[in-house]
Amino acid sequence: MYRALLASATLLLILSPASAQTHNFGRGVSPGISQVSVMAVQSATVAFEDTEHASMTKSHHGGAHVHVVTVERGMGQAAATMNGANLRELKTVGVCDRGGGYWVKCRNGQTIEGRLRVWDATGKGNGVFVVRSTSNNWPRNTLSSSLSIR
């Protein structure tokens, strides 16, 4: 579902400097959270692992850095943990629905329909990654997704 986003933006997000990530998030009415997914894990030991439909990573991740990529449909306040420890959000990018289930990085001025986030799980060891996002607007629901990282 998010293949175009993964192919075009995920590696760019992980590898590009934080200063390059500036977007106009607008002030219009934002849609509530309707989906939260753990999309990928990137680490020093494994360049990139797609985890869109997985409950556990196939590879063992670790080393100097471990980054987890999540995508949420709708707008919300997100938080992530690894083995119960709060994680720092490294980057956030607005994503737009291109139609047909393809998501792309939004350009300035486009209406953002969701967010791709990169979380820092460095030094947290193996275990369970959990991301939760609560809608900014109605229905003010909270959705979550988890992934067991080896």
Q: Domains plus CATH for the chain?
A: 3-13+30-149 (2.60.40.10)
Mean pLDDT in the chain?
83
Angle of CA points 67, 68, 71, to nearest 5°: 140
* Secondary structure of the chain in HEC code, one letter for each residue: CCHHHHHHHHHHHHHCCHHHCCCCCCCCCCCCCCEEEEEEEEECCCCCEECCCCCECCCCCCCCCEEEEEEEECCEEEEEEECCEECEEEEEEEEEEEECCEEEECCCCCCCCEEEEEEECCCCCCEEEEEEEEECCCCCCEEEEEEEEC
Which tops the pLDDT comparison, 30 or 137?
137
Q: Has this prediction a pTM greater than 0.75?
A: yes
Tell me the average pLDDT across 1-18: 45
pLDDT > 60? residue 12 = no
Query: Which pLDDT belongs to residue 104?
Result: 85
Instruction: Please check whether residue 75 is in contact with residue 26, taking contact to mean a CB–CB distance below 8 angstroms.
Output: no
> Nearest CA to 74 among 9, 130, 133, 27?
133
Q: Residue 86 corresponds to which amino acid?
A: N
Query: Which pLDDT belongs to residue 15?
Result: 41
pLDDT > 60? residue 93 = yes
Tell me the average pLDDT across 86-98: 92
Which tops the pLDDT comparison, 24 or 86?
86
Tell me the average pLDDT across 58-78: 94
Tell me the average pLDDT across 114-128: 95
pLDDT > 60? residue 22 = no
